[in-house]
Amino acid sequence: MTEIPEHLLKRSKERRSALGLGGGESDSAPEGGAATPTTPATTGAASSSTPAATPSGPPARKAAAEPAAPPPAKPDPPYVAAAKSRPKIPVWAMAALSLMPIWMFMYVRSLTAPPEVLAGPMGVGAEVYGNCSSCHGANGEGGTGRAFSDGEVNLTFPHIEDQLRFVYFGTDGYNLEGVSNYGDPDREGGAHTTGSFGVMPQQGALAGGTLTDDEILGVVCHERYSFNGPDPTDEEWVEEYETWCAEESPVFAAVEAGTALADLDTAGLVDIDGNAIEIIDIGDAPAEGSPAD
- Tell me the average pLDDT across 189-193: 91
- At 70 the pLDDT is 80
The domains located in the chain, with CATH, are 120-242 (1.10.760.10)
What pLDDT is recorded for position 30?
47
Predicted model pTM: 0.62
**How many CA atoms lie within 13 Å of 174's alpha carbon, on the beta-carbon side?**
26
Q: Rounded to an integer, what is the distance from CA 150 to the centroid of its chain?
A: 39
More confident residue, 22 or 222: 222
**Which is more confident, 38 or 196?**
196
- Identify the burial level of 248 via C-beta atoms within 10 angstroms of its C-beta, where 0-12 means exposed, 13-18 middle and 19 or more buried: exposed
Alpha-carbon torsion angle 264, 270, 276, 278, nearest 10: -40
What is the pLDDT at residue 280? Answer: 96
Task: Quick: pLDDT tens for 142-190.
Answer: 999 999 999 999 999 999 999 999 999 999 999 999 999 999 999 988 9
181 forms beta bridges with 193
- CA-CA distance, 144 to 239, in Å (whole number)? 32
End-to-end CA distance of the chain: 169
The residue that leads in pLDDT, 164 or 44, is 164
Instruction: With cut-offs at 50, 70 and 90, classify the pLDDT of residue 50.
Output: low
Give mean pLDDT, residues 72-98.
Answer: 78
User: What DSSP line would sit under 113-160, residue for residue?
Assistant: PPPP---HHHHHHHHHGGGTHHHH-TTS--SSS---GGGHHHHH-SSH
Q: Return the higher-pLDDT residue of 196 and 25.
A: 196
Distances (CA, A) of 238 to 18, 26, 218, 255: 155, 167, 17, 20
**pLDDT exceeds cutoff 90 at 91:** no
The pLDDT confidence band at residue 44, using thresholds 50, 70 and 90, is very low
CB-based burial label for 241 (10 Å; 0-12, 13-18, 19+): buried
Q: Is the pLDDT of residue 41 over 80?
A: no
Q: Is 253 exposed, middle or buried (0-12, 13-18, 19+ CB in 10 A)?
A: middle
